[in-house]
Amino acid sequence: MEQEQLPISEQEGEKQQSLAEIASAGIVSAPMPTDDSPLSAASSPEAEAFRQEIILAGRKLWQRQYVDGNGGNISVRLGSRYVLCTPTLVSKGDLVPADICLSDLDGNILAGERSRTSELLLHLEIYKANPRARAVVHCHPPYATAFAITGVAPPNGLITEFEIFIGPVAVAPYETPGTKAFAETVLPFVQEHNTILLTNHGIVCWSDTVTHAEWLAEIFEGGCKTYLLAQQIGKPLQQIPSNKIEEILALKQRMGLPDARL
């Protein structure tokens, strides 16, 4: 037998009365997260998609031997207030969604089961200094890191893809990793360089997505490796003509890619 339905206004009145009775009895349920709360941000569909992208990038870094042990870290901006980042002491080849932490722009962990990477400060300095940076990848590819321990950047004007997507590479001075001083070493370069060598350490790349930042690491490592192999051939290296470099720079400007030569 169907029950008689109360008018909507009366249903709402009973609902409010019931809530008032629950509250007066001291039985108050947990408040629902607001749209901009950490809990809401951490559980959003966008955050879930970013976690999967971070996990995929982490596996690529590990498979390509750009990281070892628990080395390297990945982050991505989530809205204007938050950052998703990889945790400390976890191999980038073993990441699962629950590992990914939610931080604010001061490095405070707001959601997640693990402690954040100690080098999150580096990522945050990049985000604060350059609004175009929406994702950051830090890793230790062997050929690129070989340049990092010499404090010298690879030469330009040799490989087309390297020129288009990266261009001149800055070399940040050494500081102890995980410190604020270390994080600030990239500040003079982060506007005009999307890939920076960290002396005696590795590289850091920023881009509009995690995938694209990981691509920069691949392109940079590939360029360093190819240059070192080419030197072993014993023949002069062929430079891209200067007028063709100008064409590449015009292309980069149309694509919105940074370059210190622009």
Domains in the chain: boundaries: 38-255
Give the span between the Cα atoms of 246 and 50, in whole angstroms: 36
Q: Which fold is adopted by the domain 38-255?
A: L-fuculose-1-phosphate Aldolase (3.40.225)
Per-residue confidence (pLDDT) for residue 35, from 0 to 100? 57
Can you tell me the distance from the alpha carbon of 99 to that of 42, in angstroms, rounded to the nearest whole number?
12
Cα–Cα distance for residue pair 215/57, rounded to 1 Å: 9
Contact predicate 216/166, CB 8 Å = yes
What pLDDT was estimated at residue 220?
98
Q: What is the pLDDT along the chain (262 residues), one digit of tens a residue?
A: 434 444 434 444 443 444 344 334 433 333 344 457 999 999 999 999 999 999 999 999 999 999 999 999 999 999 999 999 999 999 999 999 999 999 999 999 999 989 888 899 999 999 999 999 999 999 999 999 999 999 999 999 999 999 999 999 999 999 999 999 999 999 999 999 999 999 999 999 999 999 999 999 999 999 999 999 999 999 999 999 999 999 999 999 999 999 999 9
Specify the 3-state DSSP secondary structure of 195.
strand
DSSP structure class, residue 99: G
In angstroms, the CA 204 to CA 130 distance is: 14
Say how far apart CA 50 and CA 41 lie, in whole Å: 12
Asked whether the beta carbons of 112 and 39 are under 8 A apart, the reply is no
Question: What single letter denotes the amino acid at residue 195?
Answer: T
Instruction: Check if the beta carbon of residue 258 is closer than 8 Å to that of residue 191.
Output: yes
Query: Could you list the active site residues?
Result: 119
Distance CA 170, CA 172 (A): 6
